[in-house]
Amino acid sequence: MPERTAVIASRVGLHARPAGIFVAAVGELPLEVTIAMAGEPAEDAMDASSILSIMSLGASNGDTVVLRADGEGADEALDSLVKILETDLDAE
């Protein structure tokens, strides 16, 4: 299963607006995507399309998360999601 790591760039972490932007992008994909804090077991990963899961993850600025997806186009999808997480969405 393809996976990518990303460092959260938004100053407020994955909360409010940045979380909404990320969840909307995940929701447009025809894949199931999971997210977890780096170092956590894969089986503890949460549904990346759920705003509640993203908010409860508690990822702050500078934290590293792991994204995983499986299926056709997973590599490209994960690359696009990493770009979102590694952009300071609060500055835009």
- Active-site positions read 15
CA proximity to 31, closest of 89, 86, 64, 76: 76
Q: In 10 A of CB 22, how many CB atoms?
A: 26
Burial bucket for residue 45 (CB in 10 Å: 0-12, 13-18, 19+): buried
From CA 54, how far away is CA 57, in angstroms rounded?
5
